[in-house]
Amino acid sequence: MLTHDVVQSEAALDAWLTAAAEGGAVALIDKEENWTSFDVVAKLRGMLRIRRIGHAGTLDPLATGLLVVCVGKATKLVDRFQEQPKVYTVTIKLGATTETDDRGSEEQVRQGASQPDTATIAAALQTFVGTLHQTPPAYAAIKHGGRPQYDLAREGKAFTPRPRVVTIHAITDVRIDWPFVECTVHCSKGTYIRSLARDLGEILGVGGYVHQLRRTMIGELSVDQAVTVDTLRSKIPMKATA
């Protein structure tokens, strides 16, 4: 498995490159902001000269953090990684909404809304712990009628996102400093943190959206083990990318 420690060791990196080319391998990537998950896959394809690469769990362009990338024959492991629970750290901004439920679109301030106190915000946040029906954001990679919802939304097509059953196992490390709420969310696959931010804002009557989002864990895998694409590029011998 390609991790930070492997990248720092020339011998281990050479072994990983050989495994990736011959039998398949897994890379833990710390995705940067403003890259799509497919951008990461495309960059690795170019660097490794291996076509068969897939990621296990999409991250929004504005989200950072752990992306598990399966290379070669290891793509058969994608479903296994996708099934694993996830952990995110998120900063939610209350008092406004956006069309995309994150800061990727223009903020619309909720006029006339009363600022709830800290205890009310904290209590409302905990109501999301458990199994619930969650409606994905309109701008989401999930497909509707065979097409990604974000394509339909960008084209102005009318559609109603379908709720899905997800589980939020815990919401911890809550810090509130109006209008921002920081917390750590432990959840099942398929959970949209943007939906959590949006729904929290609606419960409080003030609106809300994701201001910052970082995935820190997938199952037992941690972003602390991951390597950035730029670091990987700097370490791969020229012979591997020629």
Report the amino acid identity of residue 143. Answer: K
What is d(CA 112, CA 109) in angstroms, rounded to the nearest whole number?
Answer: 9
Q: Of 60, 101, 102, 199, which residue is the catalytic one? A: 60
With CA atoms as reference, report the closest residue to 90 among 217, 180, 161: 180
State both tokens at 201: 């804002």
**Beta-bridge mates of residue 88:** 185, 215
Q: Give yes or no: 60 in active site.
A: yes
φ, ψ for residue 16 (rounded to 5)? Answer: -65, -45
Q: Are 216 and 86 in contact (CB under 8 A)?
A: no
With CA atoms as reference, report the closest residue to 199 among 214, 216, 174, 181: 181
With CA atoms as reference, report the closest residue to 192 among 223, 161, 220: 161
3-state secondary structure of 228: coil
Q: Are 211 and 94 in contact (CB under 8 A)?
A: no
71: Cβ contacts below 8 Å, ≥ 6 apart? 20, 24, 25, 26, 27, 44, 48, 50, 52, 53
Distance of CA 226 to CAs 1, 76, 120, 217, 230, Å? Answer: 10, 21, 37, 10, 12
Q: What are the counts of helices (DSSP H) followed by strands (DSSP E) for the chain?
A: 9, 13
Which amino acids are annotated catalytic?
Answer: 60
